[in-house]
Amino acid sequence: SQQGEEDPQALSIQEGENATMNCSYKTSINNLQWYRQNSGRGLVHLILIRSNEREKHSGRLRVTLDTSKKSSSLLITASRAADTASYFCATEDSWGKLQFGAGTQVVVTP
Amino acid sequence: GAGVSQSPSNKVTEKGKDVELRCDPISGHTALYWYRQSLGQGLEFLIYFQGNSAPDKSGLPSDRFSAERTGGSVSTLTIQRTQQEDSAVYLCASSLWGGVGDTQYFGPGTRLTVL
């Protein structure tokens, strides 16, 4: 079963706009990670946020984590066509195993 | 350096046949993971190898699935008597030590189609 659930399932925006997607999970976590997947193949690690962190930035990415609500959000600012991809959150258990959500499919049109 | 590689990139097989999928992790990475991704879905954990420890097989969906990792490096995922529901992209990942907070690096995957 999947630990995380992303919302929305799909998102269509224009270049320059911001994209926000959310992830909710069920059980306690050590860390939460976000990955990007292009064309249904390999995943690329974007950012890791630890359970004692509330916000983290990496370039145009901003991730928040609210452990009391068991939720996280990923914000992509000033989106580009190259940001078109599926984005997955993954929660990490005590042994480092990741459980992925079903993903948010983002389409950025020029 | 080279990333995680997987072969073949695509595999089409007939129902009932056995298939072997290969994963070459990043050199020096002690942890290796196999995941399965069905169409439009997230990744489903299958199996995890860490160093010389016994593998965590808790995600394998049936006894038709098995995996081994030889010499702490290359791994092979074997599916026996394939079924149509086995059709998916099989992704392999490796990480440096496999513990909490370690980053997993993914290969491009093998797309398996069972006719």
Q: What is the chain A residue with the closest CA to B48? A: A97
Q: Nearest CA of chain A to the CA of B16: how many Å?
A: 25
Q: Cβ B100–A95 below 8 Å, yes or no? A: yes
According to the model, what pLDDT value does residue A92 have?
Answer: 86
Q: Are strands B105-106 and A85-92 parallel, antiparallel or unpaired?
A: unpaired
> Residue B9: which pLDDT band, with cuts at 50, 70 and 90?
very high
Residues in A closer than 8 angstroms to B38, CB to CB, are none
Q: What is the chain B residue with the closest CA to A93? A: B100
According to the model, what pLDDT value does residue A3 have?
Answer: 64
Question: Is A59 in CB contact (< 8 Å) with chain B?
Answer: no
CB A15 within 8 A of CB A68: no
Question: Is B107 in CB contact (< 8 Å) with chain A?
Answer: yes
Question: B96: alpha, beta or left, given left = phi > 0 and alpha = psi -120 to 50?
Answer: alpha
Question: Is A97 in CB contact (< 8 Å) with chain B?
Answer: yes
According to the model, what pLDDT value does residue A40 have?
Answer: 62
Written as one letter, the residue type at B12 is V
Calculate what percentage of chain B has a pLDDT beyond 90.
Answer: 80
pLDDT digits (tens, 9 = 90+) for A11-56: 999 999 999 999 999 888 889 999 999 876 789 999 999 999 999 9
CA distance B37 to B18: 19
Residue A74 has pLDDT above 90, yes or no: yes
Q: Nearest CA of chain B to the CA of A41: how many Å?
A: 5
Q: What is the chain A residue with the closest CA to B61? A: A1
Instruction: Name the residue among A92, A95, A102 with its Cβ closest to that of B42.
Output: A102
Angle at A24 between CA A94 and CA B85, to 5 degrees: 80
H or E stretch at B67: strand B65-69
Residue B39 has pLDDT above 90, yes or no: no
The four Cα atoms A51, B37, B49, A93 give a dihedral, to 10 degrees, of: 20
Residue B48 has pLDDT above 50, yes or no: yes
